[in-house]
Structure 1
C-alpha cells in the first residue's frame, strides 16, 4: 500500500478519501493473503502522514499492518523544514522500535528555467510556480545529510529520478508534470541535484558547477557552489584563480562573495585528482545595469519582473520572515490575485520581509541612492512603526506605512543617499512598535 493514511488532512478530499475512511481492514486482508500466497516475502507499505505534519488532522496509524515500515516524508517541501526529517524518523522508530523502517520517498520540485539568488529568501511554492532549480539542490543536500548519518534505516528512495506526467499539477515551468525528478521529463537535462548524488555516490571523478542555467545574473556578487569528489578543487573566473577548496563536506565546495565582472564571466572548476585534472565550465553574464546596483525583491524566493530595472530574489539578509499579500497556492484552482495600488509592479511589491532584520550588501565604495518600497499588509495606522538605519545613521524614523499610504494595499516609497566606505552597506530595519517591513530595496550608484 502507498499513502492510505491521509485521514482528515487537507489533501484527502482531492484524492477521493472521505471522512471516516479506515484502511486497516483491507490492509489486514491483504497481509493475510500475501502470507498465505508467499510466506517467504515480507509485506511493506509506505505511509504519508504520521507525525504531526498536518497539524491536528486525524491520521489513521497503519504502519503496524505490515511487516516492514516505509515512510514518505517531504519536510521542506509540502510542510516544515528539511531539518525536521530527523526528528520525525526518530519518532517513528520510538513508536515501533522492533519494525524495520525505511524512507520510501523524499524529494522536492525544481524547474531548470527558474532560479533564485538565495534558497532561504522566501517560501517555496509546492503547488505553484516558484520552484527554482537551486531549491531542489538545497532540499537534497539537507535531506541526504540527515539520511546518510542514520544507521537504522533498511533503505531510502529519493523521489524521483525523472520528472513524470500527472494530470493534477501546474507547477514550476511545467504543465501536467511533476518536477521532482533529478532529470527532466524529456531525459535531456540532468539537474544540478543529479550531480550532488553522483559526487557522493559514484567514485567516478565528478566536478559540477551549480546554478549553471542561471546565466543572466541579478547581483554583482554571488556564492559559487561546486559538487566535487576531488581531494582538492580550484575555482577560476575569467582566467584568474579564486582559490582551492580541499575535502569539501558532502562534496560541496563553496566560494563565498565572488565578485563578477561586467559582461561575460567564464567560471571554471578544476578537480585535482590523482589521475589528472577534471574540469567543468559555465558562462554567466552581468549586465551593465547590475554592475554597481543591488535591487532586491524582499520576501521573494524568485524575483518578480519589474519596470524599474533587474531585481534579484531576496538575499543578503539576516533575521525577519518572508511574507506576501497574495494568497498562497493550494489544492484546487488558483485564487485571484489582489490588486496593489500605486504601482505597476504588483508582484514585486506584493512580497515583503518583516520583523527585526538587517541587509549587509557587499558594495564598492562610493555614493549610492537607496530606494525603499513598502506596502502594509494588515496593520492599521499607528500599529507598525520602525526605523531604517544605514551604516549607523538613522535615515527614516518611526516610519508608519499605513499612515503614509492613506489607503490599504497601497505602495509607499522613500529614498535617501548614503556614502559607503569599507566595501559594505548595512541597512537595519529596527522595530519601534510592531514589526519592521520592506517590499523592495534598490541600491544604485550615483
Structure 2
C-alpha cells in the first residue's frame, strides 16, 4: 500500500502545545477527511492520543526523535557525550513507549542532519572549520533501534543531497537507515517545480535497493494574499509575498510528479496545519510557518486541502479555488475547480460558462472567464451518480477595475497604489520575470533601489523580459495603452526592441537607457489600438538584447 500523508505539528493558536485530547481528535479527523492514510509525527515524540486514534482507524505512523539539523555544539567536530546520551535515551523511550502500537511503521532517527556547509550561518559558527560528520551518530542510533525493535525499519529524512547548493560540502546520510526520505522544496527554496522528478530519479539511481520516499514538500500560503497568476513573478520565500494560489500551484505540480513515480513508497506533504516558529516573518503572519493546508486556528481549510481531498478520496468534492480573492483586479479571471465529479459545470451569474469531464488530476480549469462590474456569483456544479454537488462563491469587480486593466509586469503580488488598482502579472506568453530589488531570501536585504520619474514606484520595480507577448481579452473598441519601461542595468545601445500591437508596429527600436538619460528612470509611451476581435495582442520583439516592460495600463 502506497502511503500518502502529511507532516504534523500538534500546536494550535491560543493553546500552543497545551492541547487537549479533543484537539488532537479534531486534527486527526481533518486529516482523515482529506484522504490521508499516513502521518509523519514530526519532529519529536507525540502523545498517546494520536497513536491510539491511528490504531483505531488504520492510519500508518512515522515516529521520530528530535535530532534535527544540528548534532554538534558550535564548531565541535563530533557530538558530545551528553548529546549522544540524550539522543539514545529519546530513541529508546520512543520505541518502548510506542512499540505495541500497530499503527507505527518505522522509527525515524533524525531529520535534515545533512546540511553540511550549505548554510554555515545556520549550522556552524565558522566557515573555516570542516563540516562535522553525522554518520557515526546515525549509525549508532540505527543499531540501537534494531536492538530495541528488530521488527521495524529505521528511516531518515534528508535535506540536501543532490540539491542546488553549488560546491557546498554535503554529507551523504541516506544510507544510515533502512528507508530513505527526502525533504525537497523545488519551486520554493530553490530550483523550479519541474526539477523534482529528475532529482528523485537521480536519488533512485544512486541507491536502487533502498526504498525512497518524499518526506516534505510544499510552500507557504497566506490566506489574505493573492495573485492573478502564480507564474507572474518571484515568490518571496522569506518575506511577505506568499499568495495562497502559489501554495496550490506547488502542490498541484508536485503531486503530478509524485503520483507518477511508482518507486516511491510514500509521500508526506509539509504541513497539515500552520504551526508556530519564532524565526518566521512571512506571508501574513509573524512567528508562524504558513505551509499548512489548514490555518493555525483550524478555521480555514486552504484551497490545496481540497485539491488533495478531490484526489485522495471518493467523497464527492467540488471546490472553487481563489475564493478568498474576492475583490478582483481584472474583469476576467481564470477559474480553477477541484472536482472529482465525472462532469463539472461552471456558471457565472447563472450563465453556463462550460462543462468539463474527467478533469486531469481533478483540476477543472476555464481561462479568461468574463466577470461583470459589481458582484459575480460563481458556481461549480459537480454531477455525480448520486446527484449534483454545488460550490458557490462571490467575486467582486469594482467599477474602476472594470474600466481599466492595469498589469504590474513581473509582479507575483500587485502593490496597492492610491487611486489605481493594479493586478499582478497576467495574460503573458513567454519571457521571464525580474525585479530591480531582487532578494535571494537569505541574509540581510540589500539597500532598496528607487525608480525615478514615477509616483508608482513599486510597479516600476518589477518587469517582464525576453521575447514575450500579452493577449488581453477586451470588448471591441478603441483603447489607449500606456506602457511603462525601466532600464535595470544596461547602458544606452545595449537594448533595443519593437512593440507590436494587433499586428502593427506601434513602437520602433526603443532604447530605454538612451531615452531616460539616467539609470532606473521610468519612461512611458502611449499608443492607441483598435480591438476588433475581442483581443488586444501586444508583442515585445527584441532587436538587440531582450525586450522589457514594467507596467501596462489599458483604458477604453
TM score, norm. by length of structure 2: 0.78
CA separation in 1, counterparts of 2:381 and 2:299? 25
Corresponding residue of 2:523? 412
| Partner of residue 14 from structure 1, selected from 98, 106, 122 | 122
Aligned pairs for 1:244-259 (under 5 A) are: 244-259=355-370
1:151 aligns with one of 228, 241, 262: 262
Are residue 5 (structure 1) and residue 114 (structure 2) matched? yes
**Shift of residue 308 of structure 1?**
5.5
Distance 2:300 2:216 in 1: 22
2:459 paired with 1:348: yes
Does residue 281 of structure 1 match 2:392? yes
Match in the other structure for 1:127: 238
Mapping 1:35-50, distance limit 5 Å: 35-50=146-161
Which has the larger displacement, 409-418 or 35-44? 35-44
Instruction: State the match for 1:378 in structure 2.
Output: 489
2:336 is aligned with 1:228:
no
Alignment of 1:15-414 (within 5 A): 15-16=123-124, 19-307=130-418, 309-414=420-525
Give the root-mean-square deviation of aligned CA atoms.
Answer: 1.3
Conserved 8 A contact 2:131-2:169: no
CA distance in 2, matches of 1:15, 1:197: 34
**Mean alpha-carbon deviation: is it higher for 49-58 or for 59-68?**
49-58
1:426 to 528, 537, 551: 537
Q: What is the rounded CA distance, in whole Å, between the counterparts of 1:57 and 1:347 in structure 2?
A: 35
For residue 328 of structure 1, report the CA deviation from its aligned partner.
0.8
Distance verdict in 2 for CA 1:162–1:180, change over 3 Å: same
Partner of 1:157, secondary structure, is strand
Query: 1 CA distance for matches of 2:527 and 2:365?
Result: 35
Q: Residues of 1 paired with 2:440 and 2:221: CA distance?
A: 16
Cα distance in structure 1, aligned partners of 2:163 and 2:312: 32
Runs (5+) with no aligned partner, structure 1: none
Question: Structure 2: which 5+ runs fail to align?
Answer: 1-109
Alpha-carbon deviation of 1:54? 1.7
Measured after TM superposition, the shift of residue 415 of structure 1 is 0.8
How many residue pairs were aligned?
444
The C-alpha deviation readout for 1:82-136, integer Å capped at 9, x for no partner, is 1211111110110000011111111111111111111110111111111111111
What SS does structure 2 have at the residue aligned with 1:93?
Answer: helix
C-alpha displacement of 1:17: 6.8
Moved over 3 A (4+): 15-19, 332-336
SS in structure 1 of the partner of residue 202 of structure 2: helix
Q: Distance in 2 between matches of 1:427 and 1:347?
A: 23
Shift of 1:407: 1.3
CA–CA separation in structure 1 for the residues paired with 2:167 and 2:430: 29
1:259, 1:150 → 2: CA distance? 38
Q: Secondary structure of the residue that 2:355 maps to in structure 1?
A: strand
Q: SS of the residue aligned with 2:111?
A: coil
Greater alpha carbon shift after TM alignment, 362-371 vs 32-41: 32-41
Q: 2:405, 2:555 within 8 Å by CA — same for their partners in 1? A: yes
> Quick one: distance in 2 between partners of 1:366 and 1:292?
13
State whether residues 469 and 540 of structure 2, in contact with CA within 8 Å, keep that contact through their aligned partners in structure 1: yes
Quote how far apart the aligned CAs of 1:233 are: 1.2
Q: In 2, Cα distance between the equivalents of 1:32 and 1:200?
A: 39
1:52 shift after superposition: 3.3
8 Å CA contact 1:129, 1:172 repeated in 2: yes
The C-alpha deviation readout for 1:184-212, integer Å capped at 9, x for no partner, is 11111000000001111121111100000
Rounded to whole Å, the distance in 1 between the matches of 2:436 and 2:358 is 44
Structure 2 distance, partners of 1:302, 1:15, is: 32
**How far does residue 213 in structure 1 lie from its aligned partner after superposition?**
0.5
